[in-house]
Structure formats: C-alpha cells, structure tokens
Amino acid sequence: MSATAQTTAAPGLTAARPSLVAGARRGLPLVRAVVLGLLGLLAVAGAWEGYKALAPEDGVVVGDNRVLPRTTDLAMPHVWDMLQRLGEPVSSLRGAAPLWQVVADAVLVSLKVAAAGWVAGTAIGLLLALLMARLRLAEWGLLPWIVLSQTVPLIAFAPMVRSWGSRIEIGGWEWPAWMSVALIASYLAFFPVAVGALRGLQSTDRVHTELMHSYDAGWWATMCRVRLPAAVPHLLPALRLGAAGAVVGTVVAEVSIVYPDGIGRMLVTFAGQASGDPEKAWAPIFGAIVLGLVAGGFIALLGLLLRTYRRGEAP
C-alpha cells in the first residue's frame, strides 16, 4: 500500500487518486516508448551509414585479424538500397512477387510454426511445474533432467527428430515436416516456463496458504484460487523467454531439418546469393527481427490481459 493512501483522511480520494495517477502515467510512456523506439531505429541506421562513410573500405585489420568489417557495398549495403530492394521482385523470373511479400509469407509460416511450438511448450512446461509443485519427489526427480535437457545441442538432435517424424504414419496421416520444427521449438520453449512457473507456484505467501488451510480448501482449490494467480508475475517473464526460445528454435530447426517454407531456410538461401545480390540477403534478416517483435508483442499483450494479477509488481 502506498504512503499517500495511508495518510489521506477523506475516504473517497484514496480509491480515486491512484487510478488517476496511474492512468496519466500509463498514457505518457506509450508515446515516449514509440518515439524512443523510432529514435533507436534511426540511431542504428545512422551508425550503419556513419561507419560505412568514415571507416576504410577494407575494414580495420590488426595483424592478420580483421577487427572491424569491410564497408564495401557487398558487405554493407546502404540502408536505402536494402529498403528499395524489398520493393523489387524477388528474382528476375517473369511474374515474380516482390521481395517483401516473399519474406512476409515466410515470416508468417515461421510464426505459425513457432506459435504452435510455444503453445505446446507452454502447456508441457505448466504441466511439469504443476506436477513438481504437487509432489516433492517429482521435483527432485524431474528438475535435474529438465535442466540437463537444455544442454543437448539443438543442431545435433534436430535431424533425428526429422527422421523419427518421417517414420510416423497413422492411417493415411503422415507426420508433416512443420511439426518436427514445432516440436524442436517447443523443446526450447518448455524449459523457462517449467522453471519459472514452478518458482511462481512456490512463491505463494504463507498467510494465503494458511488462510486456505483454515477454510479447509483442497489442493486444487488452493491452486486455482491462490497459487496460480500469485504465480503470474513469475510466469510472464518465463512466457517471454519461452516465446524467444520458440522463435530461435523454429529458425534453427528450419535450417537443420531443411524445411523450405520458413524464414530460417530463406536466411541461408538468400545469403548464398549475396555475392550477386547483397541487398537481398538482408531482407530475411529484417523478417526474422519482425518475427521476434511479433512474438514479444504478443507476450506484452498477454501481460496486459493478466494485469489484474500483477498488482503490487513494480511498474
């Protein structure tokens, strides 16, 4: 509780004032965040062009090591050239779609796969956290394995997942390649959710659990009414990490499984064409950035929906 609420004698004011103040504070940062974000973008573009204009053509070489990159148009195309390239057709074939559209399609494909992986990973992570919160034994038995699971290099087992998946066939239904990608994405996403949710579920105030005990409330009622809502402030950062993991997992898995429709594969293909078309190679990189921003934005939205459960959290 705030000190102002304590000292205010008139009762009507105490309730009204904090919400007013909060509203005024909330409105301003939105504008500020947008302006700062745009300024940041401009700063990056400015630094890029500034370095390109000022640094030597061949970069900076110390001994045999190049410590700063070349500034040729091949290595560092102009910002405006990269933007212009987005509007041009993807290839010289007749009727080819503009580059931005091809990239956007690939981003959309990857986004769907990453979202599927995130949902699956979050569900698995939450279930594991619930299980570990319920049974001490499960925590002792599972948590080390969960931590260990993240030390397995993704590149190593992605092809294995692919080959297992290709052997799955139920009736006429075949395991599609995108599900292998989503599976790997979920593998990265479940970990922070499991650990964060467990932490959150264990952070319930003792006074609340004792109160529920005094009401003779069961484990499940306590979980739904107190422990899950109280875990939300811990859960949101975990979900954010999970979303980042799902995006990274999707991009990496697309590359190592050779799944052609997503942004990951496009990054590799277009990079291969960079010697002839340097600006084109940057388009899927922008696409990947957008993919990450969309994922982050989704979690921010989720945080907004769950804001009732985040009271008392520092703004």
Q: Where on the chain is the footprint of another protein (CB under 8 A)?
A: 1-2, 5-6, 8, 11-12, 14-15, 18-19, 205, 207-208, 210-217, 221, 225-226, 229, 308-309, 311-312
* CA–CA distances in Å: residue 86 to residues 41, 102, 115, 264: 17, 9, 26, 18
Structure tokens at 70: 């070349």
Cβ atoms of 100 and 270 closer than 8 Å: no
- Helix, coil or strand: residue 67: strand
Q: How far is the CB of 236 from another protein (least distance, A)?
A: 14
Nearer to another protein, 71 or 222 (CB): 222
Q: How far is the CB of 204 from another protein (least distance, A)?
A: 10
Nearer to another protein, 101 or 209 (CB): 209
Nearer to another protein, 2 or 72 (CB): 2
Structure tokens at 121: 């990973």
Phi, psi of 48 (to 5 degrees): -60, -55
Structure tokens at 28: 């301003």
Question: Measured between alpha carbons, how far is 23 from 28 in angstroms, rounded to an integer?
Answer: 9
Q: How far is the CB of 276 from another protein (least distance, A)?
A: 58
How many beta carbons lie within 10 A of that of residue 282, not counting itself?
20
Q: How far is the CB of 198 from another protein (least distance, A)?
A: 20
Question: Measured between alpha carbons, how far is 81 from 72 in angstroms, rounded to an integer?
Answer: 13
Question: Measured between alpha carbons, how far is 220 from 51 in angstroms, rounded to an integer?
Answer: 60
Cβ atoms of 60 and 68 closer than 8 Å: yes
Q: How far is the CB of 212 from another protein (least distance, A)?
A: 8
Planar angle of CA 134, 137, 141, nearest 5 degrees: 115
Q: How far is the CB of 19 from another protein (least distance, A)?
A: 7
Nearer to another protein, 9 or 54 (CB): 9
Question: Measured between alpha carbons, how far is 166 from 164 in angstroms, rounded to an integer?
Answer: 5
Nearer to another protein, 32 or 307 (CB): 307
Q: How far is the CB of 131 from another protein (least distance, A)?
A: 24
Nearer to another protein, 35 or 221 (CB): 221
Nearer to another protein, 169 or 216 (CB): 216
Q: Where are any strands of DSSP class E within the chain?
A: 60-62, 65-68, 169-170, 173-174
